[in-house]
Structures are given as C-alpha cells and as structure tokens.
Amino acid sequence: MNLAEGVQIVSFGLLGLAMIGAALGVVLLQNIVYSAFLLGGVFISISGLYLLLNADFVAAAQVLIYVGAVNVLILFAIMLVNKQEDFDPIIGRWVRQGATALVCFGLFSLLGVMVLQTSWSSSTSGAKPAVDTTVLLGEHFFSDFLLPFELASVLLLMALVGAIVIARREYLPEEIVSPQQQPPLTLPERARQPIAISAGTSSSPQSTSE
C-alpha cells in the first residue's frame, strides 16, 4: 500500500462518516432548517466521493447543481412554509409509519443485494483513469448519448413549464372559504390560499404573517 492508497482509504472513511452522520441528522433533527443545511453536507460528501473516483466534472456538477441550486430551492420552499400551526393528529398514524418503514427497508435491502451481487473487480481492475473526463463526456454526449442529451432538454423544459403553471395559479377558486368556516387542517400541509399574482393582488409577507 503506497501513500496514495492510504490517503484514499482515509478520505473515503471520513467522507462516509460525514455523509452518514449528516444524513442521520437530516432525518432525526426536529428543526427542518437544520435538516436542509445538513442535506447540503450530504451532497458535498457525495461530491467528495466522486472526486475519489476521478470523476472531477461530476463532482463539480454535484456541488454546482445540488448544493448551489437544489438545496437553495429546498431552503426557499421551507421559507415559503408558514410557521407551525396546530394540526389534528393523523388517525392511524402508525400504519403510515409502518408502511414507510417497510418501503424504506425494502429499498435498502434491494440496494444491498445489488451491491453484494455486482462483481466490482472486473469493472475497476483494468480501468485506466481518463486524461480529461470532461472532453470524454462531451464526446459521448454528442455521439452515442445524443438522444438522452436532447431528451434532457425536453425534460428541463417540462419541469420549467410545469413549475410555472403550478406556482403561478392564475385563477381564483370559485368558492372562497372564509377563514372562520375553514375546517381544521388534517394533513401536515398549509391551507391553499387563493393567489392571483397576475391580477396584482399578491400576497406579501406582511399581510399573511399577521
């Protein structure tokens, strides 16, 4: 074992510990803002793992997109959520929790079986580190992965249009329920407010926070 391998093993262990710890914090912490910031830590650790695998462009893209954009989006979504309201307790909550646990355990065991049954040695022994992975990625994008590349743009277009359509609901619901008659919220969701941004009656933070 030379020095590079030792550095690799140590940094892999550190990154794995940081990632698992941050992921546990995401799940277990009560404050959702802490969870969002720890999720950024998880993403950064994954980017470090990409660096260890000589995938420098993927690591940079991971930091750029996940930490810089997706995590900011999650934080903005948290900022959109109102402060804590009193919700009715969900009936049959343990059934939902049990189902969630079952699904999560099933996914975990599926991934575990996949990891154990894959013969990793054949794929890593003869692999030569690429000189410049970005150039290789570009060549693959525009030769044999052209269709997924173009489909990615269509997917981005769909995401953009759909997000705009959902976020800017340009209609008022037909029956506007007055706040006194509203039934108590049952799901952990905020009540849908009628908004019409295009009509100029936007909801400012001052008017809604009361």
Partner 1 sequence: MFVLSGYEYLLGFILVVSTVPVLALTASKLLRPSGRDPETRTTYESGMEPKGGAWIQFNIRYYMFALVFVIFDVETVFLYPWAVAFHRLGLLGFVEALIFIAILIVGLVYAWRKGALEWS
Please report, as ranges, the residues that interact with partner 1 according to CB under 8 A. 4-5, 7-8, 51-52, 54, 57, 61, 64-65, 68-70, 72-73, 76-77, 79-84, 127-129, 132, 134-139, 141-142, 146, 149-150, 152-154, 156-157, 159-161, 163-164, 167-168, 195, 197-198, 202-205, 208-209
**Comparison of 23 and 58: residue with beta carbon closer to partner 1:** 58
Nearer to partner 1, 119 or 153 (CB): 153
Cβ-count burial of 59 within 10 angstroms (0-12 exposed, 13-18 middle, 19+ buried)?
Answer: buried
By C-beta, is 108 or 149 nearer to partner 1?
Answer: 149
In the block, tokens 């309201």 appear at: 85
Tell me whether residue 116 or residue 154 sits nearer to partner 1 (CB atom).
Answer: 154
CA distances to 105, 175, 178, 194, 203 from 199, in Å: 48, 18, 20, 12, 11
Residue 51 CB, nearest approach to partner 1 (Å): 7
